[in-house]
Amino acid sequence: MTPIRRRLALPALGTLAAFLVAAAPAQAHGLVGKQDLPIPKWLFAWAAAVVLVVSFVALATLWRAPRFAALQERTVLRLPVFLDPLCGVVGILIFVGIVYAGFAGTQEMTGNIVPTAVFVVFWVGLPMASFVFGDVFRPFNPWRAVGRGIGGLMARVGGGAPEPIAYPEWLGRWPAAAGIFGFAVLELVVTLTTRDDPSVLATLALVYAAVQLLGMSLFGVRAWSDRGDAFGVYFGLFATLSPLRWTRRGLLRRPPLSGTATITPGPGLVGLICVMIGSTSFDGFTASSLWTDTFASPLQTRLVDAGMSIEPATELVFLGGLLFMIAIVSSLYVLGCAGMRSAVPKAEGSTWSFAARFAPTLVPIALAYVVAHYFSLLSYGGQGMLSLLSDPLGDGHDYIGLADHAINYTWISANGVWYVQVVALLAGHAAGLALAHDRALLQFPNPRVAARSQYWMLAVMVGFTSLALWLLSNTA
Amino acid sequence: MTAPPLAHAGHWAVGLIYLAPVAILVITLLVIGRRDRLAEAEELRQANQDEES
């Protein structure tokens, strides 16, 4: 940079910074009284970036050999063989109960157990439970239990089920990515009245179950459950971060995060994880004034002016926004991988192969996004499950005496929620950095080259952290 | 009539401050990358010169 340019650049940067800081109060209206943070929110993003850079330097200097490649597991508990089928039966009963409540219960959203069970407990609670307790969904997975039950029955009565078709390699986890995208469309695009209608949710649950049974009958229960069952794969990915792993025979303990080494990179994995991160980001983005004022309202108006009715116009705009956000997340990640490839001398493989190999390192970030965006929903909405369990159909019953249980909104302050969100994001991205560094040490045996390859992944992690904190700062 | 995006600049422009760490990091990485490439080219040139002499 020439001296003249440098002289011009400094005042320009100063002016921009002053403009941005001065603009803060305009954006902060509506937040006063809810949160009383000691420093501006953007400073949290800056602090998070510093922490990530320091973590990166620490990893590069102190973590000189791969640690997660040789997975060490220890059995901590032996389980009776009947427990796995018993859990399957319980899972089927829960599924049947939810579907029944959807059709037979009140169609009022807050009175019926189905919307809260689906959008709070299942969609938000299970990822967090999977991280803490391991893949708790797998033994209770009703579709897998039915598939295995039918397979077992045919083996005993009908002389065995026909041989399944070999699962196509090219299909990979694309069915799972499509399933999670479909759920995100239901949650974020479809209009509120349709989305929260218990009978609609029950119908969709039955359709999903039918697709799973078809997939399992074609490709076999295990092959389909491992790659095609969207929710099974989704919860299974989060469970790889857990220090616990369940098998039919026992409970195993392992170092946290080490399970990600068992994720096989293949077709659809990058797409699935980008859908996971992109859809959560879009959920946060839709609460910002930038989305509403700059994108949603003008586009909606144009579509309505062009002759479209308001509901499909809104859904189309939101669908476009969701796809756009997934594209941004995917592009950021692929750019990071392109940078990684360029930083390695004589790198073998394309940018896409790098993207596939390093995709498992994004799993903790996807979890961090879920925790950060939905922590308040789970902490408040989750309490609502107590009264709903007591009166699941909303018809006035009080089975367990908790029908009048009120949600305690004061157990955690608004500041507390913000700190949980920041810590979750920071921990998730630091874990992502550690996993990427460990994987780089496997790919590039020279620790210096491995550290150098991660420069651009560091930029991606800082970018994701800043994006998430910016989105949260608009929604809190 | 919808307001032009600039009318809401006060609401969203502050978001740019969140980008600052990313921008600083990307600029730093570009500078490091350029410096590394120049150093590698210099090493190669030196090696070639040594071979020739």
Residue matched to tokens 């910002």: A288
A453 touches chain B (CB under 8 A): no
By Cβ distance, the residue of A23, A49, A459 closest to B29 is A459
Which range is least confidently modeled, A13-17, B4-8, B49-53?
Answer: A13-17
* Residues on chain B touching A342 (C-beta within 8 angstroms): 33
A67-84 confidence digits (pLDDT tens): 887 778 999 999 999 999
Q: Is the pLDDT of residue A1 over 60?
A: no
pLDDT category at A241 given cuts 50, 70, 90 is very high
- pTM of the shown model: 0.86
Best mutation target among B1, B6, B16, B18 (most A Cβ atoms within 10 Å) is B18
Chain A residue with the nearest C-alpha to that of B12: A290
CB contact under 8 A, A290 and B29: no
A9-61 confidence digits (pLDDT tens): 444 444 444 433 333 333 333 333 367 787 888 889 999 999 999 999 999 99
Residue type, A164: P
* Residues on chain B touching A467 (C-beta within 8 angstroms): 18
Token pair recorded at residue B28: 């730093």
What angle is formed at CA A384 by the lines to CA A383 and CA A387, rounded to 5 degrees? 110
Token pair recorded at residue A429: 């991205």
CB A453 within 8 A of CB A440: yes
Distance CA A184, CA A322 (A): 8
By Cβ distance, the residue of A23, A293, A459 closest to B14 is A23
Does ipTM surpass 0.85 in this model? no
pLDDT category at A128 given cuts 50, 70, 90 is very high
Q: Is the pLDDT of residue B43 over 70?
A: yes
For residue A197, report the phi and psi dihedrals to the nearest 5 degrees: -75, 115
Question: How close B1 comes to chain A (CA, Å)?
Answer: 9
